[in-house]
Structure 1
Amino acid sequence: MQASSSVLYQEYSKYQNSVNKNNVVEVAGNFFSPSLLGEDYRVNLGAVSQLLFKSYMVEEFSYHEMKNEQEGCLTINGYDEENAPLIFSLKYILNDGRWLIDNIHVVFVEHVKDFSDSAKCPNEYPE
C-alpha cells in the first residue's frame, strides 16, 4: 500500500515540502485544482490559510490511497501539535497531466482507533 507507486502521496509530499506561507499564493496552481482555488484566492486571506492545511499535522502515522485514470483519494492519519489524532482526506484529479488537490477534508478524531484503514474521499465523510 505504501510502495513507490504511491503517486498521490508523492504529490502530497511535494506540496508539504515546498509550500509555505511566503509562497503559497505563487505556487498554489502547482498543487491545487482551479475549481478548488476559485477566482479570488490570491486576495482571500481565509483561502490562503486553508491552502496551508498541512500545518495542522505535525506527525504522520500512516496513509492510504486509491486512484483510477482521472481521480483519486489520499487519506493521511497523523497527529497535531497537541498529539491529538487527525485525518486528512484529499481528493485529487488529473489535470493536464498533473495530479492536483481538488477537495480537502480535515477530520479531528477522538482516538487512534478512529484512524482510517483505507483511502476515503472527502465526500465519504458525513457533513
Structure 2
Amino acid sequence: MSELCDHNKPELQATVGEGSNPAKHWFVYLIRTQQGVLYTGISTDPARRLRQHQGEIVGGAKALRGKGPLQLVWQYQAPNRSIASQWEFQLKKLPKKAKEQLVSLLWQPEFLQGIQQKSYSDK
C-alpha cells in the first residue's frame, strides 16, 4: 500500500512529466460532495483545484457547482499527464463501493499497484 503524506507538506519526489516542465506533478484525485458523491479528476495541484471547484477561484467543474461543501478525500501522484488521464478514466468506471474502499485505504486497483508514488487520504 502507498505511503501517506500530508498534501500541505510536499514530500513528493520530482517526476518527469509530459511537456516542457519536467518537475510538474500530475495527480488523480477524488472529491466528496455534501451528498456523499465522489467526483474524480486530475490536476497538477489538487488543493488549488478543490478551491476552484468550491468557487473560491475561477475554473471549477460545472458538475460540482452548488454541491458543497466539498472535501478532497484522496489523491495519487501519476508519472505524467497521460497516465493521470488514463487512471481518471478507469477510476470513473469503478462503482462507488470500490472508490470508498480506495479512500479508506482498504483496497487499491491493479492499475495503481506497483507504482511507488505517495498518496494522500483524509476522511
TM-score (norm. length: structure 2): 0.33
Q: Which has the higher contact order (CA 8 A, sep 6+)?
A: 2
TM-score (norm. length: structure 1): 0.33
Larger proportion of strand? 1
